[in-house]
């Protein structure tokens, strides 16, 4: 398979680029922030996303979606990153759609997937508990109780948790933190008694929540996938999410870079365009190289997820690690090369820096993925 977008994927990119660029440029995020918007995103735009088929991109045909793959999801994520659009796309259309179509029972699929495809259901994936992404360290308890389970514990960094109609939660039904066995995924209605939810406003003005579970009753048919053996399903979903966030970071990096190169060609100091200075030329050329290499690694990971899902871990670790370091470099150079203007709130560059920092942490930062790679290669 060629490591370039095919014709259909290029058309999808152009349509996503046009729509998001027109309807949700950075000014859209800025306005939601300045208005202290209660949901932090636009339901009207999400409806349009559904009408364009984006919300059902990963939903199989028989449930009303288009049954496309991770490459296509990445194409949309990249445009989201380019414009910093706050959207349920990641949590609902990528993570929840993958979780349900990969792990759901027939009943779970037919209940939820059509609603994801038509845009009427928002979902959120609740994994992290500590300051860093450590899925195997999950402590949240799922204890058998009657015909179901009782959940106790706390989740943090739940993207879109404050608006979700459905939560997908990783809990420990057996074993101890650190062990692979004993993890189970549950589908939980956030309105269930015992759930306390707090919207967390983050540095990037995107959405997340902290959720406390106090003796929350879940029916046995709320189990998603296999009891105690949920780790493979969880890692699969996380890898899809990592590929998607890596794509978002490619979009962030490219947009910052493009704005910065434009600035180098406009800003004059010492009677010269600052882009004439070799000190800046070399740094810009280095950053360009890093971005191009990362773009290739991310596309490779997405293609591998589509072609050979169970053997994509290495390619995904490479992509997420690279995307993290590249985006970090891109936003830092972006602010530095814009000088004092880069530090102002009035200028958009700072928004990219904030988003890149959040994307780094989401589903494991570059260090986490370097450690993953070392483990996969046995050293």
Partner 1 sequence: MSDLDHFRSETRAWLQANCPPEMRRPMQNDEDSYWGGRNAVFTSEPQRIWFERMRDKGWTVPDWPTQYGGGGLDGARAKILREEMAAIGARSPLSSFGIWMLGPALLKYGTEAQKQEYLPKIARGEIRWCQGYSEPNAGSDLASLQTRAVSDGDDFLITGSKIWTSYANYADWIFCLVRTDSTAKKHDGISFILFDMTSPGVSTKPILLISGKSPFCETFFDNVRVPKSHVVGTVNRGWDVAKYLLQHERAMISGMGERGASRPLGQVAADSIGSDEQGRLEDPILRGQIASFEIDEAALACAAERAVDLAKAGQGHPAFSSAMKYYGTELNKRRYEILMSAGGIDALEWDSERSKQGARPRAWLRTKANSIEGGTSEVMLGIVAKRILDLPGA
Contact 167, 187 (CB under 8 A): yes
> Which helix (H) or strand (E) element contains residue 164?
none
User: Coil, strand or helix: which one is 372?
Assistant: helix
Residue 320 in tokens: 């997420």
Min. distance of Cβ 239 from partner 1 in angstroms? 16
> Which helix (H) or strand (E) element contains residue 18?
helix 7-23
DSSP 8-state secondary structure symbol assigned to residue 4: S
Nearest CA to 227 out of 160, 292, 170 is that of 170
Cβ within 8 Å of residue 8, ≥6 positions away? none
> Nearer to partner 1 by C-beta: 38 or 379?
379
Min. distance of Cβ 264 from partner 1 in angstroms? 6
Min. distance of Cβ 91 from partner 1 in angstroms? 27
Min. distance of Cβ 97 from partner 1 in angstroms? 26
User: What is the C-alpha separation between 80 and 341, in angstroms, rounded?
Assistant: 24
Min. distance of Cβ 357 from partner 1 in angstroms? 19
The C-alpha torsion from 237 through 242 and 244 to 248, rounded to 10°, is 160
Min. distance of Cβ 214 from partner 1 in angstroms? 36
> Nearer to partner 1 by C-beta: 3 or 196?
3
> Nearer to partner 1 by C-beta: 256 or 299?
299
> Nearer to partner 1 by C-beta: 167 or 319?
319
> Nearer to partner 1 by C-beta: 154 or 296?
296
User: What is the C-alpha separation between 140 and 167, in angstroms, rounded?
Assistant: 14
> Nearer to partner 1 by C-beta: 29 or 302?
302
Min. distance of Cβ 221 from partner 1 in angstroms? 38
In this structure, is the dihedral angle defined by the CA atoms of residues 246, 9, 309 and 165, taken in order, positive or negative? positive
User: What is the C-alpha separation between 123 and 173, in angstroms, rounded?
Assistant: 22
**Where would I find the beta strands (DSSP E) of the chain?**
123-126, 141-145, 148-159, 166-172, 183-188, 195-201, 207-219, 223-224, 268-269, 272-273
The position carrying tokens 């930062």 is: 365
DSSP 8-state secondary structure symbol assigned to residue 229: B
Nearest CA to 90 out of 241, 201, 199 is that of 241
Opening angle at CA 161, ends 231 and 220, nearest 5: 50
> Nearer to partner 1 by C-beta: 84 or 246?
246
- Residue 366's φ and ψ, nearest 5 degrees, are -60, -35
> Nearer to partner 1 by C-beta: 6 or 200?
6
Min. distance of Cβ 84 from partner 1 in angstroms? 23
Min. distance of Cβ 243 from partner 1 in angstroms? 13
User: What is the C-alpha separation between 90 and 310, in angstroms, rounded?
Assistant: 21
> Nearer to partner 1 by C-beta: 121 or 315?
315
List residues near partner 1 by CB under 8 A. Answer: 2-4, 261, 264-265, 272-273, 275-278, 281-282, 284-286, 288-290, 292-297, 299-300, 314-315, 317-319, 321-322, 367, 369-371, 373-374, 377-379
Min. distance of Cβ 181 from partner 1 in angstroms? 17
By the 10 Å C-beta count (0-12 exposed, 13-18 middle, 19+ buried), 69 is classed as middle
């Amino acid at each position: 398979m060629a490591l370039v977008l095919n014709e259909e994927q290029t058309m999808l990119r152009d349509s996503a680029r046009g729509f998001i660029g027109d309807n949700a440029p950075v000014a859209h995020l800025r306005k939601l922030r300045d208005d202290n918007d209660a949901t932090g995103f636009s339901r009207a735009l999400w409806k349009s996303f559904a009408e364009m088929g984006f919300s059902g991109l990963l939903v199989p045909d028989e449930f009303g979606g288009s049954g496309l793959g991770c490459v296509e999801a990445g194409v949309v994520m990249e445009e989201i990153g380019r414009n910093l659009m706050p959207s349920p796309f990641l949590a609902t259309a990528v993570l929840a759609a993958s979780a349900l179509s990969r792990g759901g029972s027939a009943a779970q699929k037919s209940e939820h997937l059509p609603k994801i495809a038509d845009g009427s259901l928002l979902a959120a994936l609740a994994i992290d508990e500590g300051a860093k992404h450590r899925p195997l360290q999950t402590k949240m308890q799922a204890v058998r109780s009657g015909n179901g389970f009782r959940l106790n514990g706390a989740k943090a960094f739940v993207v879109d948790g404050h608006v979700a109609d459905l939560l997908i939660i990783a809990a420990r039904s057996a074993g101890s933190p650190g062990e692979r066995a004993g993890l189970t995924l549950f589908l939980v209605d956030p309105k269930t008694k015992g759930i306390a939810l707090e919207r967390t406003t983050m540095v990037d003005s995107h959405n997340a929540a902290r959720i406390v579970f106090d003796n929350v009753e879940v029916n046995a048919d709320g189990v998603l996938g296999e009891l105690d053996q949920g780790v493979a399903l969880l890692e699969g979903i996380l890898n899809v999410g990592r590929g998607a966030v890596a794509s978002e970071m490619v979009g962030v990096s490219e947009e910052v870079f493009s704005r910065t190169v434009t600035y180098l060609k406009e800003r004059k100091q010492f009677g010269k365009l600052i882009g004439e200075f070799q000190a800046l030329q070399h740094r810009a050329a280095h950053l360009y190289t890093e971005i191009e290499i990362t773009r290739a690694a991310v596309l490779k990971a997405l293609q591998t997820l589509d072609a050979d899902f169970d053997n994509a871990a290495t390619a995904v670790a490479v992509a997420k690690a690279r995307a993290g370091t590249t985006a970090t470099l891109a936003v830092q150079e972006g602010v530095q090369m814009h000088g004092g203007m880069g530090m102002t709130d009035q200028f958009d560059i700072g928004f990219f820096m904030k988003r890149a920092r959040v994307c780094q942490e989401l589903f494991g930062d570059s260090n986490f993925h370097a450690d993953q790679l070392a483990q996969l290669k046995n050293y």
